[in-house]
Amino acid sequence: MGPPPPPGFAWSPSPRGGRDTSPAAPHRTSAERVRALTTIFALLLASWPALAADIAATERRSDTGLLAPETRAMQDDDTANPGMLTVLDGAEAWSRAPGPNVPACSGCHGDAPASMSGVAARYPAWSRDAGGPVDVAGQVNLCRERRQNATPLASDSPELLALTGYVAHQSRGLPISPPEDPRLEPARERGRALFGRRMGQLDLACAQCHDDQWGRRLSGATIPQAHPTGYPIYRLEWQAVGSLQRRLRGCLTGIRAEPFPAGAPEYVELELFLMSRARGLPIETPAVRP
């Protein structure tokens, strides 16, 4: 059951989070509600055990298993999955040159279903051009700069999401297979450390929820293992397709931590670790999530 809430605080059971409408605090300000919620989280965390080990390979589960039946049906039906519109945009961009006298993506890589099959399952990967690890979006922008003489696309822009979604879609159903490249290990270990680091005003680490408490309920929702199997994903909350970096920024904001700047290396380091943590699970792009 966990510890009781602090005196004078009433928790709303509304599935959307609700608000405190109890007679005990009818005029509570936003700042007071924030302090009360922070106190509740602190009390809950005090009752949680110390960080556990990584999730065993035999216990790894895609977050798809937690979806409501209607959301799962939406994801599984390409004619109903709204993320497929972004994939179709990506197919068009794949064959369109970004400027005169430069090749389209297809000009170098040919037919994407053949040349890009399995690529997303092996990223982030080491890039000689970048001198470090890059994710799929980073590789798309490197190709634009170095091969197409084009301006890099903005993070989470529709154009970049379309191309990354199209590339990742070519690996759908294939198992995540992180590269065994020793040059990636320092960045992967930094990602592991970030996943286990307490951050923000709520003093929470990613691992406290997604390693230690997965499968339990918090605020009316089941805590997932948080594997990056379906990015870019369509989130019903966003009513749009978004990247893993956008989701990580949302998590940081949720624990009241300062998000890293867009495109910061910390995001790629976290993805490196998360992809290793999800080894063997199938790519699901474009996934649908609440």
Domain of 32 in residue numbering reads as 1-47
- Residue 38 domain flag: yes
> Tens of pLDDT along 98-144?
989 999 999 999 999 999 999 999 999 999 999 999 999 999 999 99
27 in the same domain as 94: no
Q: Which of 105, 206, 209, 251 is catalytic?
A: 251
Q: Which position has the higher pLDDT, 7 or 264?
A: 264
Domain limit, last residue, from 135, 169, 203:
169
> Tens of pLDDT along 156-172?
999 999 999 999 999 99
- Residue 76 domain flag: no
Q: Is the pLDDT of residue 16 over 50?
A: no
Judging by beta carbons within 10 Å of its beta carbon (0-12, 13-18, 19+), is residue 196 exposed, middle or buried? middle
C-alpha to C-alpha distance for 158 and 162, rounded to whole angstroms: 6
DSSP result, 111-141: -HHHHSTTTGGG-SEEETTTTEEE-HHHHHH
Domain count of the fold of the chain: 3
Domain of 238: which CATH number?
Answer: 1.10.760.10
265 in the same domain as 205: yes
Is 108 annotated in the active site? no
